[in-house]
């Protein structure tokens, strides 16, 4: 900007021919003009850079997920298809001037995901039909009463609108029929009120219904057949992606703590998990409206993803606390950290492996023993860590008494305790994923044995798995645990 | 149900007169009828209890917050007012058949909060006007080209709809103009497409605008003047309520841990805080549309409430970890807990007091020194706790060596570390509240000194406040801290 301003000033001075005597005034004027020019240039440059920055941001939004741009084109396509009804004489004569309802329907029901579109289409169709029938009935009754018609119609409108609006505060209605309630009130108002003037009320209602049906048909056809975005799949992806991020963050936080260096980029991944509830709920809500598609069958247990998400959030809260330990100013001395470093890193690595296995199991929709093995390894590592924690005093006494006091190890002990708690919560994630696997009938892989004793055998195999040291005290699985996992 | 079934069966048998010979067949029939009757009764009873349960739930939704029921009545009132336009001949003649736009406007723009209604009204008005003007312009240009008119109109519709739909993925647009984009596409489609048929296009657009204006006027009048619900106030209340719950939960968790009994009800209050982000964001978004009202002036810093909320959530994550310590199965022995019990309880109580003071400061919109004093007390308690933690080995050596090993105290140490971390995060809440106080110009209370040196003096007063022990090592406030607080 400065350079531009100076250049502009120079350019102006060069062009001004200064007559004698008037030099001061002209120079002053030239200065003011130059300043104005420079100011304008600076504004233009600032505006340009703002526009360029904004354009870059918009471009990135599209480049990050090209389906967003495709979604825009899909809406345009659906609208263009519907507007054909207006331009084609025979079609237009068929539905009459009510073609605008088809356009309106496409504009308001077309959502990013198929589930969202189906939800709105269903709500719009059912609400329009039921409100139309009800309004016709009330209108017929009111017509019999003679002069009271406006009062009855307005009164019923008032009562119905109040009741319907209040019903939106009921959680189930809010989650599944919110849009339908709006359309119900809207249709009832239009039919009941306009019924006072328009004679062919039934024809109006029928016209409206048929045009809405055209709009819904167009909208669903484009949503399902042109690059569909399934809410269920988005939810599925969100869940696995968050699980991987959580695994990375867990490893990263422990590495950060023991390395003592600056925080790695991946350590912050748990933050995505912390605030994922709203989008998970929204997507699970929309996904239940979707027809079977790909690996997502009829009645796929989308609600269970919410439970998996909740277990991941519980885990993320603890990882957050762990991360703040890593970033704390008061740190344990290096030699104190060294005592539990190996065991802690092992627990973190195995917890992360369990999360990654769980993520892979969800992503591929298979239930494999690898997850059970990984969980067993994690248990072993946790028991080792707990053993190390218990034997700290003797370790200190034996080797390091001179150098390190037990007090120094206390912050490390806190980190280790958090890791033990995290591993318990990772178990919670595994349980939620196991339940999802049961509900969604994930395919069993590497199943070379009978199907019945599989789980029990996996539990037994833990103890002889090569990664497990034979002397660790793995607790026998209690009946409740097995019941919860099965 | 069982009783009803038996009674029903008895009743039937009593009434059947059994003729000789036919007794078996009739009894069989009577049995079937009785079973059917019992089944029907059971169904009715089940249905009745389901209905009663649902009704009770709905009643509680209304009783919990009667403003919800009032909201329903308000919507009914606005609709009834608008429908007067339809029934009153002179008014009807004024706006023509387009009165339905007024009804439609009321139905779709009336939201629970004033901010929500203003947001929708503004978006609807601006989007309708701009799309109408644009459509008229395109229509005029297309009219000059002769036969290409439908192609130009459909093409422009396609492009505009695609671009507008894509723009909804831009966060700012999504947050503030989402509804406006829908209405923009809708109006453009209607005017551009119907323009091909309807001759008086400008009259249509003008009619639509004036009826929408009537709808908006009705809607805003009812929303603002009949028991208004302000989004800003809701956000304000949510923030203070969450702060109080967090304070209760913090105290409750520490009490639970040291008492070792079952968890108290109040200990779970942090859960409301954990998932509050979505509703906070939504309310802050709507609140910015609201006109000044009550203590909420023009440009009230609603965005800052989001930061206060974020700092509370950071705090709640740690409280969650603390709560899981209290609920853990492996507990430190009672005599080990006793060592840090006093200091821990003090820190928890003072952290809770700071949170309550902060909540009171926000609730009353006053900046008082009480918050600074409470924060200073909290610091003192934290330093005492840290001192106790450091001197644990010597304490143990002096009094309890025989009974307790240092190892036993380690779980308590973890709880204490978490408390120290929580107090640091409570500081974060205080900083956010201080910033809110500055931005929203909270009234200074108990200000008997000059306004300038107040903060510095409050910092100094900490050290001689009667609750502070003179021998504790309160760190001198660093310049950065003061800058952050000011």
Chain B residue with the nearest C-alpha to that of A317 = B317
Of B92, B167, B189, the CB nearest to A107: B189
Q: Which of A82, A199, A321 has the most B C-beta neighbours within 10 Å, making it the best mutation to test the interface with B?
A: A321
Chain A partners within 8 Å of B83 (Cβ): 153-154, 157, 189, 193
* C-alpha distance across the termini of chain A, in Å: 69
The neighbour count for residue B307, using CB atoms within 10 Å, is 18
Q: Taking a C-beta distance cutoff of 8 angstroms, is the pair B396, B406 a contact?
A: yes
So what's the pLDDT on residue A389?
81
Q: Is A202 on the interface with B (CB under 8 A)?
A: no
Residue pLDDT, tens place only, B227-241: 899 999 999 999 999
Q: In degrees rounded to 5, what are phi and psi of residue B293?
A: -155, 140
So what's the pLDDT on residue A474?
35
The answer to whether the CB atoms of B321 and A324 lie below 8 A apart is: no
So what's the pLDDT on residue B124?
92
Q: At residue B126, does pLDDT exceed 90?
A: yes
Q: Taking a C-beta distance cutoff of 8 angstroms, is the pair B405, A397 a contact?
A: no
Q: Which residue, among A226, A219, A227, has the nearest Cα to A82 in the 3D structure? A: A219
So what's the pLDDT on residue A363?
92
Report the alpha-carbon distance of residue A228 to residue B320 in Å, rounded: 40
Q: Which stretches within B96-170 are classed as H helix?
A: 99-109, 114-144, 149-167
Report the alpha-carbon distance of residue B452 to residue B437 in Å, rounded: 15
Chain B residues 376-415 with CB within 8 Å of chain A: 389-390, 392-393, 405-407, 410-411, 413-414
Q: Taking a C-beta distance cutoff of 8 angstroms, is the pair A242, A276 a contact?
A: yes
Please report where in the chains the tokens 């019924």 appear, as a residue: A195
Q: Which residue, among B156, B166, B148, B202, has the nearest Cα to A79 in the 3D structure? A: B156
So what's the pLDDT on residue B24?
45
Percent of chain B whose predicted confidence (pLDDT) is above 70: 78
So what's the pLDDT on residue A485?
40
So what's the pLDDT on residue A308?
94
Determine the average pLDDT of the residues in B214-219. 89
Provide the token pair at A214. 């055209």
Determine the average pLDDT of the residues in B89-116. 76
Sign of CA dihedral A185, A191, A196, A197: positive
Provide the token pair at A18. 């200064």
Please report where in the chains the tokens 């706790």 appear, as a residue: B385
Beta carbons within 8 Å of B216's beta carbon, 6+ residues apart: B105, B109, B121, B124, B125
DSSP conformation letters of A10-23: HHHHHH----SS-H
Report the alpha-carbon distance of residue B33 to residue B432 in Å, rounded: 72
Chain A partners within 8 Å of B413 (Cβ): 410, 413-414
Q: Which residue, among B267, B398, B420, B415, has the nearest Cα to B340 in the 3D structure? A: B415
Residue pLDDT, tens place only, B402-430: 555 666 777 788 888 889 889 999 999 99
Q: Taking a C-beta distance cutoff of 8 angstroms, is the pair B183, B131 a contact?
A: yes
Beta carbons within 8 Å of A67's beta carbon, 6+ residues apart: A227, A229
Of A80, A189, A320, the CB nearest to B107: A189
Chain A partners within 8 Å of B332 (Cβ): none
Distance from CA of B97 to the nearest CA of A (A): 8
Residue pLDDT, tens place only, B356-400: 999 999 999 988 888 889 999 999 999 998 888 877 767 776 665
Provide the token pair at B181. 């984009």
The answer to whether the CB atoms of B103 and A158 lie below 8 A apart is: no
Chain B residue with the nearest C-alpha to that of A111 = B165
The answer to whether the CB atoms of B389 and A406 lie below 8 A apart is: no
Q: Is A91 on the interface with B (CB under 8 A)?
A: no
So what's the pLDDT on residue B480?
41
DSSP B440: T
Q: Which has more pLDDT, B146 or B346?
A: B346
Provide the token pair at A212. 């809405």
Distance from CA of B113 to the nearest CA of A (A): 13
Q: Could you give the C-alpha distances from B352 to B238, B251, B341, in angstroms and in order?
A: 17, 7, 16
So what's the pLDDT on residue B485?
39
pLDDT bin (cut points 50, 70, 90) of residue B31 is: confident
What ipTM does the predicted assembly reach?
A: 0.76
Distance from CA of B158 to the nearest CA of A (A): 4
The neighbour count for residue A144, using CB atoms within 10 Å, is 9
Q: Which stretches within A168-230 are classed as H helix?
A: 171-194, 201-225
Determine the average pLDDT of the residues in B99-126. 89
Long-range contacts of B371-374 (CB under 8 A, 24+ apart): B371/B430, B371/B433, B371/B434, B372/B455, B372/B458, B372/B459, B372/B461, B372/B462, B373/B458, B373/B461, B373/B462, B373/B465, B373/B467, B374/B350
The answer to whether the CB atoms of B75 and A185 lie below 8 A apart is: yes
The answer to whether the CB atoms of A185 and B79 lie below 8 A apart is: yes
Q: Is B310 on the interface with A (CB under 8 A)?
A: no
Kindly report the length of chain A.
Answer: 486
Residue pLDDT, tens place only, B427-444: 999 999 999 999 988 888
Please report where in the chains the tokens 């120094």 appear, as a residue: A408
Q: Could you give the C-alpha distances from B326 to A85, A245, B166, B411, B425, in angstroms and in order?
A: 67, 28, 49, 10, 20
Q: Is A366 helix (H, G, I), strand (E, B) or coil?
A: strand
So what's the pLDDT on residue A200?
66
Q: Which of A317, A409, A418 has the most B C-beta neighbours within 10 Å, making it the best mutation to test the interface with B?
A: A317
Report the alpha-carbon distance of residue B391 to residue B59 in Å, rounded: 58
Report the alpha-carbon distance of residue A122 to residue A106 in Å, rounded: 13
So what's the pLDDT on residue B400?
53
Using 50 as the pLDDT threshold, list the residues of chain A that sit under it: 1-26, 447-486
Q: Which of B67, B179, B189 has the most A C-beta neighbours within 10 Å, making it the best mutation to test the interface with A?
A: B189
Q: Is A80 on the interface with B (CB under 8 A)?
A: yes
Chain B partners within 8 Å of A161 (Cβ): 72, 75-76, 79, 107
So what's the pLDDT on residue B404?
57
Chain B residues 44-63 with CB within 8 Å of chain A: 57-58, 61-62
Report the alpha-carbon distance of residue A384 to residue B263 in Å, rounded: 30
Give the rounded distance of the alpha carbon of A396 from its chain centre: 48
Chain B residue with the nearest C-alpha to that of A74 = B162
Distance from CA of A433 to the nearest CA of B (A): 22
Chain B residue with the nearest C-alpha to that of A392 = B407
Provide the token pair at A283. 């997507």
Please report where in the chains the tokens 């997502």 appear, as a residue: A296
Residue pLDDT, tens place only, B62-99: 888 888 889 989 888 888 888 777 677 655 565 556 67
Chain A residues 317-376 with CB within 8 Å of chain B: 317-318, 320-321, 324-325, 328
Q: Is A178 on the interface with B (CB under 8 A)?
A: no
Distance from CA of A105 to the nearest CA of B (A): 9
Q: At residue B56, does pLDDT exceed 60?
A: yes
Beta carbons within 8 Å of B346's beta carbon, 6+ residues apart: B381, B384, B385
Q: Which has more pLDDT, A42 or B21?
A: A42
The answer to whether the CB atoms of A57 and B170 lie below 8 A apart is: yes
């Amino acid at each position: 900007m400065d350079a531009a301003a100076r250049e502009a000033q120079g350019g102006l001075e060069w062009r001004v021919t200064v007559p004698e005597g008037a030099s001061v005034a002209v120079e002053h004027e030239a200065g003011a003009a130059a300043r104005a020019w420079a100011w304008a240039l600076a504004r233009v440059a600032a505006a340009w850079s703002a526009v360029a920055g904004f354009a870059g941001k918009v471009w990135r939004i599209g480049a990050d997920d090209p389906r967003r741009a495709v979604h825009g084109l899909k809406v345009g396509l659906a609208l263009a298809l519907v507007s054909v009804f207006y331009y084609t004489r025979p079609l237009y004569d068929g539905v009459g001037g009510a073609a605008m309802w088809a356009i309106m329907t496409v504009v308001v029901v077309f959502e990013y995901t198929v589930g969202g579109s189906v939800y709105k289409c269903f709500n719009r169709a059912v609400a329009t039909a039921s409100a139309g029938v009800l309004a016709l009935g009330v209108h017929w009754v009111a017509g019999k009463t003679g002069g009271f018609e406006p009062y009855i119609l307005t009164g019923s409108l008032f009562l119905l609108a109040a009741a319907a609006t209040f019903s939106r505060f009921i959680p189930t209605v809010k989650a599944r029929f919110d849009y339908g309630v709006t359309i119900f009130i809207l249709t009832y108002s239009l039919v009941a009120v306009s019924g006072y003037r328009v004679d062919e009320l039934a024809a109006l209602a029928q016209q409206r219904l048929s045009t809405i049906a055209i709009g819904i048909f167009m909208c669903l056809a484009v949503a399902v057949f042109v690059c569909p975005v399934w809410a269920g799949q988005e939810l599925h992806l969100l869940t696995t992606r968050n699980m991987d991020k959580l695994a990375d963050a867990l490893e990263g936080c422990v590495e950060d703590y023991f390395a003592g260096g600056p925080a790695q980029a991946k350590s912050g991944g748990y933050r995505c998990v912390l605030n994922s509830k709203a989008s998970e709920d929204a997507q699970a809500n929309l996904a239940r409206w979707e027809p079977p598609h790909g690996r997502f069958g009829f009645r796929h247990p989308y609600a269970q993803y919410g439970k998996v998400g909740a277990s991941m959030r519980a885990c993320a809260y603890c990882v957050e606390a762990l991360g703040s330990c890593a970033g704390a100013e008061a740190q344990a001395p290096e030699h104190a950290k060294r005592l539990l470093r190996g065991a802690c890193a092992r627990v973190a690595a195995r917890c992360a492996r369990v999360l990654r296995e769980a993520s892979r199991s969800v992503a591929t929709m298979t239930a494999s023993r690898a997850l059970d093995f990984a969980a067993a390894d994690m248990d072993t590592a946790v028991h080792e860590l707990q053993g190390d924690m218990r034997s700290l005093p003797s370790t200190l006494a034996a080797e390091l008494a001179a150098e390190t006091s037990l007090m120094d190890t206390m912050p490390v002990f806190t980190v280790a305790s958090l890791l033990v708690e995290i591993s318990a919560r990772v178990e919670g994630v595994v349980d939620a994923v196991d339940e999802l696997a049961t509900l969604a009938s994930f395919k069993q892989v590497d199943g070379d044995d009978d199907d019945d004793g599989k789980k029990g055998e996996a539990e037994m195999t833990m103890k002889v798995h090569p990664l497990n040291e034979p002397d660790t005290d793995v607790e026998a699985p209690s009946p409740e645990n097995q019941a919860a996992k099965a």
